[in-house]
A and B are shown apart, each in its own frame.
Chain A
């Protein structure tokens, strides 16, 4: 498994978490 692919996966998880917080905020505020 390559370091670069792994960093993509980790960054992807971070972005997904950020999106989850955004969706949560939109759903709650609207």
Chain B
């Protein structure tokens, strides 16, 4: 998908409209008598906060009609930031109301209404919890599976309590029609989460895969070859990723996104993972013949044919989508030049080192290995060996004069991605030509 200002503006405007839906519902009915400014401001924050919460359900759900426009990675970064803002606005709703009139404290008083006080106290804690566990997931010691379960559960609870609270207060949702639309919008958003987490995994169950081979790779990584079992397989594009579950049933906790690492072949696909998390460290114990379930494909981190060449800037296991795209270029006998800047700690840990050497023989491919600790005979080992980290100076040294016309694909650890994005910007590359996949976001 090509990026453009118009496309970005349209989607941003659409997101803004979604966030205004609750406020719109409040304003379509007969308006109650005006109250002081700070009271109305506190109430307004509640409505736009609810709108931003609903937007998160649309943005986070890996939906085919949102993600391919920008890439699930971009959508998730957007979700992460607007989610934080939404939580802050919702938390500001009771704070501003209490500052405007302390009588609002009765909403938290169990003697006045026990269930209401319980629900609103719970949702306050839930909002803080969702913020803390998302911003500092590893800091609070949550693994990815549990975090994902807690995140989904808390978000459903928050929107549900918000829905009931709006109906119960009823000040701006006085008519039955308003209450109906309000509930329908909230329940519809909640269904999107249920669809992603429950309905879609169940449909994946009808399309099982069989693990046919496991291969150890350099850099503590494993490749897994999968074949569709009783169906034609998946029509994916090189660089995309799938959600992967091993064993039965397909909706259990261990769902993870993994990039495809070989060329485009629906009947046989390869996933590669490094031993990073709890789940990937168990990969090596998987026996060939085991069943697996895939959902996808997802992502817009794919080759765009509009440029006279492609540049991949990757670090460590971030090489997997680049490998897939390079294999795809070979399948298509594409003769346009490609560049791979590949950062690793050491030469022995360079995943797909040999496979890249093979690809170099068949493609117009320049590989620049950048090692933190290169071997002593580094200059002889590879023609384009560099020491240190990928930075602007290094990119400037190797990129051709027509660098502004090329497409850029960046995937790796966050520091590498930040430096690469900044460097390309300084080198005059348009944001429209930069494609990123921040796998560390999940």
Contacts and interface: CB of A to CB of B under 8 A. Distances in A.
Chains A and B form a bound pair: yes
Pairs A-B, 7 closest by C-beta atoms: A21-B44, A14-B85, A10-B81, A25-B41, A29-B37, A24-B44, A25-B40
Interface stretch (B156-164, B236-244, B387-395, B417-425): B417-425
A10 B10 CA distance: 14
Interface string A12-27: 1110111011101110
Nearest to B75: A6
B422 to A, nearest CB: 8
Nearest to A16: B16
A29 B35 contact: yes
Interface of B: 3, 8, 12, 15-16, 19-20, 23, 27, 31, 34-41, 43-45, 47-49, 51-52, 70-71, 74, 77-78, 81-82, 85-86, 89, 417-418, 421, 425, 431-432, 434-436, 438
B81 A29 contact: no
Nearest to B431: A2
A17 B48 contact: yes
Contacts of A13: 12, 15-16, 19, 82, 85
A10 B35 contact: no
Given A1-B431, A21-B45, A28 B35 contact: yes
Contacts of A2: 421, 425, 431, 434, 436
A24 B3 contact: no
A24 B431 CA distance: 36
Contacts of A20: 19-20, 23, 44, 48
B74 A6 contact: yes
A17 B51 contact: yes
A3 B414 CA distance: 10
A2 B49 CA distance: 26
Contacts, number: 107
Given A6-B78, A20-B48, 5 more contacts: A4-B421, A14-B82, A22-B44, A28-B35, A28-B40
Main DSSP-derived SS at the B contact region: helix
Contacts of B43: 25
B34 A3 contact: no
A10 B425 contact: no
Given A1-B431, A3-B417, A21 B47 contact: yes
Contacts of B431: 1-2, 5
Nearest to B8: A9
A11 B40 CA distance: 23
Nearest to A26: B37
Nearest to A24: B44
B421 A3 contact: yes
Nearest to B41: A25
Given A1-B436, A17-B19, A7 B44 contact: no
A25 to B, nearest CB: 4
Contacts of B39: 29
A11 to B, nearest CB: 7
A17 to B, nearest CB: 4
B40 A29 contact: yes
A10 to B, nearest CB: 4
Nearest to A14: B85
Given A9-B78, A10-B81, A21 B421 contact: no
Contact of B34 (A5, A14, A22, A29): A29
A4 to B, nearest CB: 7
A22 B85 contact: no
A18 B77 CA distance: 20
A5 B77 CA distance: 11
